[in-house]
Amino acid sequence: MPNILATRIDNRLVHGQVGMTWTSWLGANLVLVADDILAEDKVQQNLMDMVLADGVQSRYFSVQKTIDVIHKASPKQKIFLVCRTPQTVLALVEGGVPISAVNVGNLHFAEGKKQIDKTVSVTEDDIRCFKALVEKGIPCTVQGIPADAKKDILSLL
């Protein structure tokens, strides 16, 4: 069983809050980004690696590769799983990735989205995915940084 310490949805993927604050707070030694676009973009990967805490490794896998290899992770790997969207997290769960809870950090506002918290805006499909995750017994909470109070996403919809 892979040692997934936390799963975060953040459309910025790896940035200061993820690379330093969350990894240090969790005690993670591996940030695994499951994202089809970033898996192919070495320049963005290198930029994101620059904000990782000392001693923290990174992997940038497609959604399918994450599903295929996550169960081969060493128990010594303390994994912080980061995804861009709730659709990605739902696909991982449906693919057998053992996600026990979801932290929602940032989903940018855009045309057609409803703002539900200061850093979280959702589409109807995002709402469908969050409801599906909760129905599978996976709590989803909004929390920017560890010091912030957790807010149940369904109470914000």
99-141 residue pLDDT tens: 999 999 999 999 999 999 999 999 999 999 999 999 999 999 9
Domain for residue 57, yes or no?
Answer: yes
CATH number, domain containing residue 74? 3.40.35.10
Domain for residue 124, yes or no?
Answer: yes
At 123 the pLDDT is 98
Q: pTM for this one?
A: 0.97
At 25 the pLDDT is 97
- Could you give the maximum distance between any two Cα atoms of the chain, in Å? 43
Range of the domain at 53: 4-152
3-21 residue pLDDT tens: 999 999 999 999 999 999 9
Structure tokens at 151: 């807010």
The band of 73, judged by pLDDT with boundaries at 50, 70 and 90, is very high
Which residues are the active-site residues?
Answer: 15
At 57 the pLDDT is 97
Domain for residue 157, yes or no?
Answer: no
Domain for residue 107, yes or no?
Answer: yes
State how many domains the chain has: 1
At 18 the pLDDT is 94
Work out whether the CA dihedral 126, 131, 133, 134 comes out positive or negative: positive
At 8 the pLDDT is 98
Domain for residue 79, yes or no?
Answer: yes
For residues 68-91, give the mean pLDDT: 98
Q: Cα dist. 107→85, 98, 101 in Å? A: 8, 23, 17
The band of 66, judged by pLDDT with boundaries at 50, 70 and 90, is very high
Domain for residue 136, yes or no?
Answer: yes
Domain for residue 100, yes or no?
Answer: yes
